[in-house]
Amino acid sequence: MRRGIAATALVATLALAATACGDSDSGDSGEKKSSGELSGTVTWWDTSNDTEKATFKKIAEDFHAQHPKVTVKYVNVPYGDAQNKIKNAFSSGSDAPDVIRADVGWVADFASLGYLDKVPDAKAKEVDSAFLKQAAASGRYDGQMYAVPQVIDTLGLFYNKKMLKDAGVEPPKTLEEVKTAAAAIKSKTGKTGLYLRGDDSYWFLPFIYGEGGDLVDAKNKKVTVDSPAGVKAFKAARDLVTSGAAITNATDGWNNMETAFKSGKVAMMVNGPWAVADAYAGDEFKDKANLGIAAVPAGSAAQGAPQGGHDLAVYAGSKNRDASHAFVDYLTSQTVQVQTTKALSLLPTRTAAYDQPDVKSNEMVQFFKPAVDKAVERAWIPENGALFEPLKLQFTKAVTGASSPEDAAKASATAFHKILKDWK
Amino acid sequence: MTVHTGQSTAKAAGEGARGRGRATGERPGRLRRALSTHWYAWTMVAPVVIVLGVIIGWPLGRGIYLSLTDANERNVGRTIGANHIDATYEFVGLDNYVDVLNDPIFVQRLVWTVVWTVCCVSTTFLLGLVLANMLNRQFRGRAAYRMMLILPWAVPGFVSVFAWRFLFNRDNGLLNKVLDGGGISAVPWLDDPTWAKFSVIAVNVWLGVPFMMVALLGGLQSIPGELYEAAEMDGAGPWKRFLYITVPGLRAVSSTVILLSTIWTFNMFPVIFLLTRGGPGDSTEILVTQAFRQAFVESPRDFAGSATWGVLILAVLMIFAFVYRRSLRKQGEVW
């Protein structure tokens, strides 16, 4: 403790020292045995949320039935800490997982750092032909495929059908309509209209797309978050809070949003398919039919939600790469995708899965599939994750009123320029 | 034994070194004699020196070196399975220091870190002193009170911080539920910059009071009771007794605990990180959490920048400790 002073310097150094003495095993220890049968242990770090994890754990363990000599070790890593934990594990090589579930925004970053094993050629070809085009794109970096898309998603407007009906309003299509609807909800039911997630940059994206802007223009290597559209986006988000149409928090946004919506404190929230199972668990949605979903409200220029989702990737230093790739194969097979759709309403990434009766009849899929088709594809650059940190800071400051929309846009751009050094 | 070895080296030295050692040999001779006289002491100390060197000296030196380079996650060397990437970071001299010191963020963080440290340490010390005085007398259930007041210390830090985080939650937290019952509208404990600052300080004080109380209680018990009796005979009231006996009697203990607690609070990472993650926005970010953010949250990880912050934090604390000791010495404290 006396030398806690040097902690930071020490931590940075240790991280480096650890990289230096990383995995020195010869790469071929995990090659296919001559018999062709897979064996060994595959550790999977899954980032699914609390309501989803039991399903995924069961699915992961079922792999053992197909390959009796392979043991799957399922570890659930909370999504919020996952990016950091994965990086720590990958860079030090000790106790690193063999397979990870990575947010689509992380793949290019991990791949550019050399952490990911390439997807075998045969599988890559299959992904190109049998998977949704926009999902397959997220697994590529520098022309190579590093990850196989597991689920695809986008944001939508979740609403409490009964509360909207009581207030006599239709699900709003634009931010203006959100405000009028919220006013009606307030006067008729006393509840708040919308929960606005103010502590996560992902929730800022519909606002900026809605004003016709984007964070960056990757084609022309240009930062565009501080364009007039960007400023308008911060303004629009702030406006929802000041007008009383929405409530927000600067901390614990996820839990507060879920609680507020499930318990009927707010009538609407913006969320993705991953929240469906959790919403159903709430008192308000004991009758599943009460949950309605619409497209995210449009801004003044357009209507747009980001394309998201999760990919599965194999660690380049894995001692058991064949079994790991086989495991990824299994997790992205049609059977498993249909299984997760049925249990959790998550959207498959295989085109053919949408013809399956269980998927076809799923109401959430019926809504989200067209939404995903229209979703805005993000720039798949390694800096994707890095941009979200400073953006989160500015988004929180803007919605809580700690800084003006103009300042927030300008500060985000300054931070982006620091990360994207040679960009305009 | 000492005499024996001393003689033997003198003999050994005498064989060849005398002639040319005459002009320059005076100092090395003495050094060698000191070494040979106390060789056993050096041997005893060596393991500790080596261990300290490896676990503190080396990382510290490496951290300082890193702060003079542009090392980050992308350009440090690493081998991952079949992928081998060579190190390509370069020595950049004092560039990082110039950048950090020119960055308004550093000053902002430093100011808040100092405010946070001063508020925490002074409140903790005062509360600790009051509680220690209250507990330093005979009354029924004294042991039970002491146990209860020590409790925050017995709970692992992160557990208490998470517990507080739940209590502080604006929409569903217990604190606001209680206030609501009393007719007071919800307080944005962790959502408003000023309230968030208040909240982190409150939690840190809550965590720090037991240490202060125990240390000061020990100090109080070492003050002889006769002093108080004599003062009472002379007609000194409780306040005067406190001011002229307790305070000077506690000086040695209090100066040490204040120094320790200042250093700890200055670098109190868990409370800030777990309670607010530096938020809302960046309003409760102190120097260490900012350094952590650069090394572990932002991507690519900026090792050089983080090391620079680390070295600067070390420098600030060393200057503080130096000034503090000087001022104590002026007051006649032998420490």
| pLDDT tens-digit readout, B269-314 | 989 999 888 878 888 989 999 888 888 877 778 889 899 999 999 9
Contacts of B88 in chain A (CB under 8 A): none
3-class DSSP assignment, residue A350: strand
Buried b (16+ CB within 10 A) or exposed e, A25-46: eebeebeeeeeeebebebbbbb
> Residue B77's closest chain A neighbor by CA?
A20
- Out of B71, B73, B314, the one facing A6 most closely (by C-beta) is B314
Q: Which one-letter DSSP state was computed for residue A52?
A: T
The overall pTM is greater than 0.90: no
- Out of B59, B264, B299, the one facing A109 most closely (by C-beta) is B299
CB within 8 Å: B295 and A112:
no
Tokens 């042991």, located at residue: B143
Contacts of B313 in chain A (CB under 8 A): 5, 8
- Out of A27, A250, A252, the one facing B81 most closely (by C-beta) is A27
CA dihedral A335, A336, A337, A343 (to 10 degrees): 110
DSSP codes of every residue in B286-297: -HHHHHHIIIII
Alpha helices in A120-243 (DSSP H): 121-130, 133-138, 161-167, 175-189, 205-210, 228-242
Cross-strand bridge partners of residue A311: A102, A149
Query: What is the rounded distance in angstroms from the CA atom of residue B106 to the CA atom of residue B83?
Result: 37
Tell which residue, B94, B76, B93, B96, has the closest CA to residue B85: B76
Contacts of B203 in chain A (CB under 8 A): none
CB within 8 Å: A8 and B85:
no
Q: Are A263 and A279 contacting, i.e. CB atoms less than 8 angstroms apart?
A: no
- Out of B64, B298, B313, the one facing A386 most closely (by C-beta) is B298
Name the pLDDT band for B3 (thresholds 50, 70, 90).
very low
In chain B, residues 158-177 whose CB comes closer than 8 Å to chain A: 165, 169-172
Contacts of B276 in chain A (CB under 8 A): 251
Query: What is the rounded distance in angstroms from the CA atom of residue A386 to the CA atom of residue A390?
Result: 8
- Out of A4, A260, A317, the one facing B171 most closely (by C-beta) is A260
Query: What is the rounded distance in angstroms from the CA atom of residue A274 to the CA atom of residue A103?
Result: 13
Contacts of B51 in chain A (CB under 8 A): none
Distances in Å between the alpha carbon of A55 and those of A67, A80, A152, A269, B3?
A: 20, 20, 17, 25, 78
B92, burial (CB in 10 Å: exposed 0-12, middle 13-18, buried 19+): middle
Find the distance separating the first CA and the last CA of chain B, reported in whole Å.
35
In chain B, residues 111-140 whose CB comes closer than 8 Å to chain A: none
Tell which residue, A169, A167, A172, has the closest CA to residue A189: A167
Query: What is the rounded distance in angstroms from the CA atom of residue B125 to the CA atom of residue B265?
Result: 12
Structure tokens at A397: 């400051």
What is the least distance, in Å, from the CA of A411 to any CA of chain B? 12
Tokens 């050089």, located at residue: B304
Alpha helices in chain B (DSSP H): 2-16, 18-24, 26-37, 39-52, 58-66, 95-102, 104-135, 142-154, 157-168, 174-181, 193-221, 225-233, 238-241, 247-249, 251-266, 269-276, 287-292, 303-330
> Mean pLDDT across the stretch B95-113?
90
Cross-strand bridge partners of residue A246: A194
**pLDDT tens, N- to C-terminus, chain A (424 residues):** 334 444 444 444 444 444 444 333 333 334 444 456 788 889 999 999 888 899 999 999 989 888 888 899 999 999 888 988 898 888 888 789 999 999 998 999 899 888 999 999 999 999 999 999 888 988 999 889 999 999 999 999 999 999 999 999 999 999 999 999 999 999 999 999 999 998 899 999 999 999 999 999 988 999 999 999 999 999 999 999 999 999 998 888 888 899 999 999 999 999 998 898 889 989 999 998 999 999 999 999 989 899 999 999 999 988 888 999 999 999 999 999 999 999 888 999 999 999 988 898 888 888 888 888 889 988 888 888 888 888 998 999 999 888 899 999 999 999 999 888 888 8
Structure tokens at A367: 């809504």
